[in-house]
Each structure stands twice: as structure tokens, then as C-alpha cells.
Structure 1
Amino acid sequence: MSKSEFRLGPFYQALDRERLARNLNWKQVAEQSGVSASTFSRMAQGKRPDVDSLSCLLNWSGLSADYFVGANRTMPPLTEPLHQITSVLHADRNLSDDGRETMIDMITAAYMRLTKNTK
């Protein structure tokens, strides 16, 4: 992968975590973000969003494009607790990619289960 390549997988996973944290389905994300629902289907199939959709999704999610493009792999702290937790895991260079994603999946599932009655 070149240093300037867009990292679709981590971006889509981060969007999915934000979607779960907000208790939304993909159709609701499409409505709130102004991005077509088909964009999410294409992203799930490994196709990158167009620049306007990317901009809308970054604005909706509060994510930084810096983490998903280029060599910068440290996500900035975000307001959502789940983002804060996962950003620490993304920055941990001791974890393999697979280990990182496994931990993020476990923490996300536990967080969603434990907070579902409070939202």
C-alpha cells in the first residue's frame, strides 16, 4: 500500500462503530449524513466512496481523514467514549492488525450491550 492510499477497511469499521454507538441502522446514517444508502453497500464490497460522500461521512462521524490517508495512523481523541477506547487500540503498535480488530470488536459488542438501556 502506498503512503497516500485511502484505508477503506478501517474507515468503514470506524463508521460502523459510530453507527452502533448512535443506535442507528445504515439507512438512518444515510439520511443523517446526506450520503446514499447504496454508498454503504459499495463500501462493504470494498469500493471507495467518492470525495463528496467521504466529506459528508467525515462530517457526520467526526472522524479525521488523517487516520485513513497516508502514514498517520493515530486517531485523535473524539467525544464518544467508544471512539476514545478504539483510538487507543489503533495507536497501539504492539497489536497485530487482526488482534486489534478482534479487541475492538469485543469491546464494541460489550459496550453496546452494556449501554443499550441508557440511550
Structure 2
Amino acid sequence: METTLNSELLAGMLKSKRGAKGLRTTAEEIGGVSAPTLSRIEQGKLPDVDTFIKICKWLEIPTDTFVKEYNPAHTSNKDLVVAHLRAERELPVETINTLINMIDIAYNNK
């Protein structure tokens, strides 16, 4: 059994605490994190370890709150492909979302 980071929970808690504050203001509060990085995390991207720890300190939440067990044997090929696309950092978000929509259509039409 492997573990993975619950990026949806992290993104939700980050958005919730940030509230109406701008990304730049929040980035300054956290310290050592850029506004574009926070934006990517709020979109479900995984942060690097240092950024993750800084955000957890800012949230005042233990890091293990976001750790979940992951069993690749029980994960569908579709979910694996989508997970890899969501972790992609070179493609624009719009392209990733389009590819995910295409994958959904392909699996729904099988």
C-alpha cells in the first residue's frame, strides 16, 4: 500500500482560509511561496515538500491530515491517466482539462 497527498482537501482548505484575500496577499502571509504556486495548488496540483509544509503551518493543520492511502491495484487505468495529467506542469491547464474531457468521453463510449 502506498500513500499519496489528498490534493483536493489541501486545495479546499487553502481556498477556504484564503477567503476573499488575493493570492499575492496569501503568498506573503505564508512566506516563501509565490501566488502562481498557490493558484496551481488550488487547481489540484501537488506542491513540493517545502511548500506543502509552509502551507500546513499557515493552515495550522498537521501534514498527515492530507496523507491518504493509495492502492494502485484498485485504481482504474482512466484514474491513473487523469492523475498523471493533473500532475503535469508543462501543459496549460486548459489543455489538461480538454484531454481529461476527451478521456471521459472515450471511457463513457466504450
Give the TM-score normalised by structure 1.
0.51
| Structure 2 residue 41 is matched with structure 1 residue 40 | no
> How many angstroms apart in 2 are the aligned matches of 1:69 and 1:9?
11
Cα distance in 2 between the residues matched to 1:57 and 1:46: 14
Contact 1:3/1:69, CA 8 A, preserved across alignment:
no
Structure 2 residue runs of 5 or longer lacking an equivalent are 70-110
Q: CA deviation at 1:52?
A: 0.7
- 4+ residue runs over 2 A deviation: none
Q: Specify the SS of the correspondent of 1:16.
A: helix
Within 5 A, what are the aligned runs for 1:24-39? 24-34=21-31, 35-39=33-37
Give the structure with the higher percent strand. Answer: 2
State the AA in 2 paired with 1:43: I
RMSD: 1.7
Give the residue type in structure 2 aligned to 1:64. P
TM-score by length of 2: 0.54
In structure 2, distance between residues paired with 1:3 and 1:17: 28
Higher relative contact order (CA 8 A, sep 6+): 2
**Structure 1 residue 3, shift from structure 2 partner:** 5.1
Length, aligned pairs only: 68
1:14 is aligned to 2:13 = yes
